[in-house]
Structure 1
Amino acid sequence: MSSKSVMALVGSAALAFYSSMAFSSKYNFQEPQSVIAQDIYDQHIWALWICLAIFVGVFGVMFYSIVKHRKSVGYKAANFHHSTAVEVIWTTIPLLILVAMAYPATKTVIAMKDTSASDITIKATGYQWMWGYDYLQGEGEGISFYSKLSTPPAQMANKEPKGENYLLEVDNNLVVPVGKKIRVITTANDVLHAWWVPAFGVKQDAIPGFIRDLWFTADKPGLYRGQCAELCGKDHGFMPIVVEVLEQEKYAQWVADKQKASAAVVTTAAVGN
């Protein structure tokens, strides 16, 4: 096997090893749980490898030139003004690299903005300092609730040990079914907020008086956590987001339970009046 083949195999193995190990690093992106998040992650990793290749190439040539063309070994400095061919090459190569990186990134951005043909539409309203959710369209239509931080005050006051999901737990999770396209409309009641769940690769500002939107399709059931990502006041760090993804049968049962509870509240209120 030639040395080039060996180097190619080693490089491929290193790429696979790094890409698999990176998921477990707290300094890396969260493991992707949607198509968009996977595209973002893949492009992030490839961009880093491209940067590494450029770094090695540029500094490799620089240090080679410094060592091999130093005065102490008798090398005479070249005397020239410019080379049109070299200038064309060092302009064309970066241009091609940028186009190669921009093309998949542009496709992903366009896909991120396509909120059409959604299965369920939910409005997320930012408040100081909690989220309000209204199911506007699809299975669960009519369900509304608030979602607030549920971390015990004793933990925040350092009177109890901090839990595993310290400041990332809420009293009411946003519940969605797996494999369905979820459109989230964002707005705010008071100041700027931002709805951000990194595992789905989504982040959208919530602006008072304006409507923005995003979408995601969760790949598998589970709990996925996010936070408000726009400085919104003294308790900005205390308005987490928890998305609970359920199998379709469990989601249907959750919807039925929520609607039944809402009907009971309405009936009780009517009787009281």
Structure 2
Amino acid sequence: MRLRTHKLFLLLAGLMSTVTARADWTVNMTEGVTSLSRSIYSLHMTIFWICVVIGVLVFAVMFWSVIFHRKSRGAKPADFHESTLVEILWTSVPFAILVAMAIPATKTLIEVYDADDAEVDIKITGYQWKWQYEYLDDDVGFFSNLKTGKEQIYNLRTKDPEYLLEVDEPMVVPVGRKIRFLVTAADVIHAWWVPALAVKKDAIPGFINEAWTKIDEPGIYRGQCAELCGKDHGFMPIVVDARSEADYQTWLDEKKAEAQKIRELTSKDWTLEELVARGEGVYTKVCAACHQPNGKGMPPMFPALDGSDMAVNPARMVEHVDIVVNGKKGTAMQAFGGQLSEADLAAVITYERNAWGNKTGEMVTPKAILDYKQTGKLPEVHAGKASEGGSI
């Protein structure tokens, strides 16, 4: 008996200790910050209260019947078998209720799917495990990756308020303009979901789904991938930064200038040291999650790069470039040719051939990567050395 009392006390103490956490729970969907989200919320509440009224009436009649027409009070069951009136009532009343619910639902659904006359078109592509945003009217595109550090994920430091909900490059959009999203995926099924905008669309390889929004007020709106898409499903958040028209145009001009600078890097004459330094940042951002920061990988799914024959054998340089640019079918190795610039591709390959114990001294230039994309072949290795090895 004393043991049971002790267990009950511990259970109650545990429940009381979570009061603060439970205070943050919500039992309803968010109203959102757009006209569309408010329409959806209004429809939700309308249907909810209709269901509440139906539930109250049904249970009221049921309990009234149980209490006042029970056998102990001498009640006799009514006999209305094959009653035409009853048949009409229990057919017409639910039909009328469904029609009353269908009218606002149809109106809202028409609004949800009306992506016509959009002023900004953004293509959203889901990757394992990041998002790519392409502004189709402005020739601007970039990847959005999780910003939360590994130290927080592995509980080595205090977690930030926006733990697992912060990115390095948010999607920036203007307020007061209709924005159309074209949602797809490059590998597996993802789902782009931002509750405050009332947008949730599956990103399916080979298909393009359409959604839209029009944000009224500037602000930061967060979401996450809502489809189980692999081991890092919980590590691909979404951040939408809604700005005033002037601030949006300033950001857009900066991104265009940045894109032009990246294109100019292809023709630059690089040194081995410059490529390795740039490549380390690229590797940490897009490769370390699978192949590990120390290059040891997680065999057999993610092979080691440190000491790998592909990464140290000069005869396999083309193979190394090909697998980074085009990926490898049937494995988790993605094709990074469309994700990274020529400068970043050259830098990360050069880094992998010179990091850890792979001191080959070999380098691949952005020009060589561009040639490989266009012709499928790498230029011959120059007779000169890049530090100790060859340069392509």
Say if 1:147 and 1:83 are closer, same or farther in 2 by CA, change over 3 A. same
Say if 1:73 and 1:35 are closer, same or farther in 2 by CA, change over 3 A. same
2:214 matched to 1:208? Answer: no
Kept in 1: contact 2:183–2:203 (CA 8 A): yes
Aligned equivalent of 2:75: 75
Aligned equivalent of 2:257: 260
Runs (4+) of structure 1 exceeding 4 A deviation are: none
* SS of structure 2 residue aligned to 1:126: strand
Q: CA deviation at 1:25?
A: 5.5
Amino acid at match of 1:195: W
Aligned equivalent of 1:39: 39
CA RMSD across the alignment: 1.6
Q: CA deviation at 1:176?
A: 0.2
Q: CA deviation at 1:207?
A: 1.3
Range that drifts further, 63-72 or 114-123: 63-72
**Counterparts of 2:94 and 2:265, CA distance in 1:** 69
Unaligned runs of 5+ in 1: 1-23
Aligned equivalent of 1:240: 237
Range that drifts further, 185-194 or 25-34: 25-34
Aligned equivalent of 1:199: 196
**Counterparts of 2:195 and 2:63, CA distance in 1:** 40
Range that drifts further, 63-72 or 125-134: 63-72
Range that drifts further, 103-112 or 180-189: 103-112
Find 1:142's aligned residue among 139, 143, 152. Answer: 139
**Counterparts of 2:231 and 2:189, CA distance in 1:** 13
- Length-normalised TM-score, structure 2: 0.60
**Counterparts of 1:226 and 1:42, CA distance in 2:** 21
* SS of structure 2 residue aligned to 1:165: coil
* SS of structure 1 residue aligned to 2:136: strand
**Counterparts of 1:47 and 1:85, CA distance in 2:** 28
**Counterparts of 1:32 and 1:170, CA distance in 2:** 21
2:127 matched to 1:124? Answer: no
Q: CA deviation at 1:56?
A: 0.8
Amino acid at match of 2:244: E
Range that drifts further, 232-241 or 77-86: 77-86
**Counterparts of 2:158 and 2:90, CA distance in 1:** 57
2:182 matched to 1:185? Answer: yes
Q: CA deviation at 1:59?
A: 0.7
* SS of structure 2 residue aligned to 1:150: coil
**Counterparts of 1:79 and 1:268, CA distance in 2:** 88
Aligned equivalent of 1:173: 170
Aligned equivalent of 2:333: none
* 1:11-30 to 2 correspondences below 5 Å: 26-30=26-30
**Counterparts of 1:78 and 1:267, CA distance in 2:** 88
1:201-237 deviations in whole A, cap 9, x for unaligned?
Answer: 1111111122221111112111111111121111111
Kept in 1: contact 2:39–2:108 (CA 8 A): yes
Quick check: which one's strand share is greater? 1
1:132-158 deviations in whole A, cap 9, x for unaligned?
Answer: 111002xxx111110011112111112
Identity of aligned residues (%): 50
Kept in 1: contact 2:43–2:108 (CA 8 A): no
Aligned equivalent of 1:89: 89
* SS of structure 2 residue aligned to 1:144: strand
Structure possessing the higher radius of gyration over alpha carbons: 2
**Counterparts of 2:231 and 2:253, CA distance in 1:** 37
Q: Which has the higher contact order (CA 8 A, sep 6+)?
A: 1
Say if 1:77 and 1:113 are closer, same or farther in 2 by CA, change over 3 A. closer
* 1:108-123 to 2 correspondences below 5 Å: 108-123=108-123
Q: CA deviation at 1:186?
A: 1.1
Range that drifts further, 170-179 or 157-166: 157-166
Say if 1:155 and 1:27 are closer, same or farther in 2 by CA, change over 3 A. farther
1:18-71 deviations in whole A, cap 9, x for unaligned?
Answer: xxxxxx862321231112211111111111111111111001011111111122
Say if 1:77 and 1:205 are closer, same or farther in 2 by CA, change over 3 A. closer
**Counterparts of 1:267 and 1:242, CA distance in 2:** 29
Find 2:157's aligned residue among 137, 157, 160. Answer: 160
* SS of structure 2 residue aligned to 1:52: helix
**Counterparts of 2:153 and 2:252, CA distance in 1:** 33
**Counterparts of 1:268 and 1:135, CA distance in 2:** 22
Aligned equivalent of 1:64: 64
